[in-house]
Structure 1
Amino acid sequence: MLNFWGSRQPHCDNINRRNFLALGAFGAGLTLADQLRAASPSNPTRSLATPKSAIMVYLPGGPSHIDMYDLKPDAPAEFRGEFKPINTNVPGIQISEHMPMQAKMFDKLAVIRSVVATDEHSDSYVTTGFPEQINKTVGHPSFGAVMSKVNGNNGDVPAFVSLRGMSMGTEPGFLGVAHRPFTPDGSGRENLRAKLANDKMADRQSLLTRFDSARRDVDASGTMKGLDSFTQRAFDMIASGTVRKALDLKKEDPRTLDRYKGVDQFLTARRLIEAGVGCVTLSYGGWDTHTSNFKELKKQLPILDRGLANMIRDLDDRGMLEDTVVIVWGEFGRTPKINSSDAGRDHWSPVMSALVAGGGLKMGQAIGASSARGEYPKDRPYKVPHVLSTLYKAVGIDPSMTFPSGSGRPMYVLDDRDVVTELL
């Protein structure tokens, strides 16, 4: 079995979202080869048209809307906080002073300032459109899993890649484990060679070095001849295929690597989309800022700003942004009023912001508004499923599509399928 372990994401609810993905037994007797079979052209739900791609940047813990994209400079000090707004290159739109790179390219971005979330520390609501209480019993699929089901794999390229591990919010739900994401990171990846060549590894080298060694050993032993076409394709996907090359950042220009220093996940996401991956999800930072909100954001916002701006600019320069929709959000916002414990902001579900780019959507705008103190939507309130419905339409998927649940009952991709009309 090849196990890929995800990273830990501690939050204030003391849940460590450490996640597991097995390529081999795959948790249910499903190999990666079986995963490829399930997504092969014989799959009747696969789209025949060239599909668009998506990148979902998840900010775990709940990023502060009022300190990022929806500042309130005229509010009382206990609401507006320490940060000042700066002008973007779109007249009338301002964002945080700690995101200057996005400000200079806001004509390629759009922010929704009136998104209504749900009051739960859950990674799944913004990826499935259903709260965790429902997902515990029904198991609705994540956005990437639906893309995998509808569009299937592209040659040796998986439809869905998670750079945040096999975590809550990436699960395929009732679509089945065939549509779990491929996760290229983890401490269990050294088992690849042991599984295919029956040869234990004596040391832990880099991921790419292990794949090189595994492929040479398997080819020399003739094992590849005994594998069926799907299994060989599965191995190629990991050991020598397009995805492996996309994961090798050393192939990038040193100047590009310098631009992405410390935020290489954003570069990896861009390279995976270039390689033909349908959906990539990643996360950055920890945004559960009950204490030291401004101290933490001063460190994190400039780094996030650089990762996002470089990725979106690169997609645009390569002519890929029109066909790649990008969404950046967390599970809720933060309390507009600063708490008294240690200059922190707590959970706040009545309103949050979401950043969108690309996908052929209408950019250069701020959609909706929150109240004068950032407490609730003042106009154009949109729910999380409305944003997801818009994203599905951007990638050519009908959110009214149905799939059978575990009990065989047809289930809609989304129950609430209204859209953010300003984006379309």
Structure 2
Amino acid sequence: MLTFWGNRQRYCDGISRRNFLQIGAFGAGLTLADMLRVKAAQDPAGPQKTAQKAAIMIYLPGGPSHIDMYDLKPEAPVEFRGEFKPIPTNVPGVQICEHMPLQARMWDKLACVRSLVATDEHSDSLVSTGYSENTNRTAAHPSFGSVVSKLRGDGPNDVPPFVSLRGGGSIGTEPGYLGVAHRPFTPSGAGMENLRLASGVTGDRMGDRKDLLGKFDTARREIDASGTMKGMDAFSGRAFDMIASGTVRRALDLKNEDPKTRDRYKGVEQFLTARRLVEAGVGCVTLSIGGWDTHSGNFKQLKQQLPQVDRGVANLIQDLHDRGMADDVVTVMWGEFGRTPKVNNTDAGRDHWSPVMSALIAGGGLKMGQAIGASSAKGEYPKDRPYKVPHLLSTIYHAMGIDPAYTFTNGAGRPMYILDDRAKVEELL
């Protein structure tokens, strides 16, 4: 619902990607109450409610190496197979990288699509919207989380439906033609004061301030000759309620978690925060971890990052199972493309490779304990069961109870499908 200025990221293509979401004509100083007004103006009849499931979208920026994670090729020539060895999972016939042993031991709770075809773009637009960044420059299709925001509306206790933990906005969280009201709430950066009580202000004092604002409003109404002042509106009231309820604040404060649990997530706290947010009623949480644009030092970098991701994923998925939430939360982890199967000559790196990539998925009532499809003997192209990125996104919408054939009206008044390519990954259903 709320987004704020973020940081710059620079990828190997030399393009500086300012991680921000433009507020546009509304200006940069929108308050929480302003955002609620915008949303109500856009949805006068209220949102269509979806099934109360949730999604956690884990993005690996820069393009993770499929051939070094979930689709290893131990029989390929050394310049293709690289340094890592496969290890068996607890599902017969499925192997993954040796640096992800925690996932290997719980593969019955996970699945991987290893035959996804992507687009050669350094952007998460494709995996978050189902359309390329090039297409979205004119069509402005909304991100997955923004669709959830539009269809679900606010959760219990005024919990925002869409939260980004990615340290600022990005192209992959844009609401597109759905409008500014369906941007994600971003707890980091400027604007977090919208969900904090000022220093020394208790809930009771917050209530007093709300009453005082109402009294000021009464005075303003009495001197308003036009009679348009009708008291403190419902939106300011909801803004106060969201601040005072503290539901989101408590979810974001990891000190409320058991110390032993915090220790399990040390270094990968975003995964724990994501779990706490969906428990609080958030419909979609997106996060990112690491940098995966490994044109050089691919194996050195992955030796550091893969164990971190392994621990984050394993703890998150196990916690969701232990809390009885596995069928109600669908989790997906992917990047914008794979990496070149053949190791380059620039310090053992792998370059961009869009013909095939892998994606991890878990929960949501989907069929787990499998590896779907595979790439060719050298990891170059899908060997069987090729799927496009929108097909997996369509499957995730299905798991959320959202019909990807649903239409919204864009800024030009034209009805637009959520996804044009709505085939699903049948093996997961």
TM-score, normalising length from structure 1? 0.90
Query: Secondary structure at 1:356's aligned position in 2?
Result: strand
Say whether 1:32 aligns with 2:35: yes
Q: Distance in 2 between matches of 1:211 and 1:102?
A: 43
Q: CA RMSD in A?
A: 2.4
The aligned counterpart of 1:397 is: 402
The corresponding residue for 1:4 is 4
User: Could you give the per-residue CA deviations for residues 253-293 of structure 1, whole angstroms, max 9, x where no partner exists?
Assistant: 00011011111110110000000000111101100000100
Show the counterpart of 2:164.
162
The equivalent of 2:285 in structure 1 is 280
| Alignment of structure 1 residues 63-142 onto 2, 5 Å | 63-142=64-143
Are residues 1:358 and 2:359 paired? no
SS in 2 for 1:5: coil
8 Å CA contact 2:54, 2:328 repeated in 1: yes
1:34 Cα deviation after fit: 1.8
Change (3 A) 1:338 1:100: same
Aligned with 1:328: secondary structure? strand
Letter in 2 for 1:309: A
SS of corresponding position for 1:331: coil
Taking a change above 3 Å as real, the CA distance of residues 138 and 323 of structure 1, as seen in their structure-2 partners, is same
CA contact (8 A) 2:21 2:174 kept: no
Who is 2:224 aligned against? none
Q: In the TM superposition, what is the alpha-carbon distance from 1:39 to its structure 2 partner?
A: 8.1
Matched, 1:333 2:338: yes
- Number of the residue aligned with 1:320: 325
Amino acid aligned to 2:370: Q
Distance 1:248 1:342, change over 3 A: same
Q: Secondary structure at the match of 1:136?
A: helix
User: Deviation per CA, 1:167-201, whole angstroms, max 9, x where unpaired?
Assistant: 110011011111111111104435x4xxxxxxxxx
Indicate the residue corresponding to 1:52 in structure 2: 53
SS of aligned partner of 2:173:
coil
Q: Which moved more, 1:25-34 or 1:231-240?
A: 25-34
Partner of 2:387 in structure 1?
382
Which segment drifts farther, 97-106 or 4-13?
4-13
Q: 1:39 to 1:367 in 2, by over 3 A?
A: farther
Tell me which moved more, 317-326 or 234-243: 234-243
In 2, distance between residues paired with 1:319 and 1:373?
Answer: 40
Report the CA distance shift for 1:38/1:275 in structure 2 as closer, same or farther (over 3 A): farther
Q: Is it true that 1:186 corresponds to 2:166 in the alignment?
A: no
Q: 1:21, 1:183 within 8 Å by CA — same for their partners in 2?
A: no
Structure 1 330/214 Cα, relative in aligned 2: closer, same or farther at 3 Å?
A: farther
Work out whether residues 196 and 243 of structure 2, in 8 Å CA contact, stay in contact via their aligned partners in 1. Answer: no
Structure 1 residues 40-64: Cα deviation after superposition (integer angstroms, max 9, x where no partner): 7932x412x6421101001000000
Paired AA for residue 68 in structure 1 = M
Deviations 1:42-91 (A, max 9, x none): 32x412x6421101001000000000111111110000011111111111
Asked if 2 retains the 8 angstrom alpha-carbon contact of 1:32 and 1:234, the reply is: no
CA distance in 1, matches of 2:97, 2:265: 21
Confirm or deny: 8 A CA contact 2:51 2:401 kept in the other structure.
no
- Of 301, 304, 310, which aligns to 2:306? 301
% same residue: 66
The 2-side partners of 1:24 and 1:259 are apart by 44
Q: Is the 8 A contact 1:212 1:239 kept in 2?
A: no
Q: CA deviation at 1:242?
A: 1.1
Distance in structure 1 (CA, Å) of the matches to 2:257 and 2:43: 31
Unaligned runs of 5+ in 2: 218-231
Which whole-Å CA distance do the structure 1 matches of 2:307 and 2:9 have between them? 21
Q: Which of 289, 308, 315 matches 1:310?
A: 315
* One-letter amino acid matched to 1:101: L
Structure 2 counterpart of 1:245: 250
Does the CA-based 8 Å contact 1:324-1:359 persist in structure 2? yes
Matches of 1:240 and 1:264, distance apart in 2: 24
Deviations 1:93-148 (A, max 9, x none): 01011111111111000000000000111121110111111100010000111111
Q: Once the 2 structures are TM-superposed, how far is the Cα of residue 328 of structure 1 from its aligned partner?
A: 0.3
SS in 2 for 1:321: coil
**Shift in alpha-carbon separation, 1:177–1:91, aligned structure 2, 3 A:** same
- Give the counterpart letter for 2:278 in structure 1: I
Structure 1 residue identity aligned to 2:102: M
Write the deviation string for residues 204-238 of structure 1: whole angstroms up to 9, x where unpaired.
Answer: xxx85757649676545445535433222223324
Using the size of structure 2 for normalisation, the TM-score is 0.89
* Rounded Cα–Cα distance in structure 1 between residues aligned with 2:185 and 2:377: 43
Q: Mark the runs of 5 or more structure 1 residues left unpaired by the alignment.
A: 193-206
Stretch deviating more after TM superposition (15-24 or 308-317): 15-24
Instruction: Classify 1:246/1:76 alpha carbon distance in 2 versus 1 (closer, same or farther; 3 Å).
Output: same
| 1:42 partner amino acid | A
Say if 1:17 and 1:168, in contact at 8 Å, map to a contact too: no
C-alpha contact (below 8 Å) 1:211/1:239 kept by paired residues = no
Give, as a single letter, the amino acid of the residue that structure 2 aligns with 1:12: C
Matched, 1:369 2:374: yes
Does the 8 A contact of 1:113 with 1:352 survive in 2?
A: yes
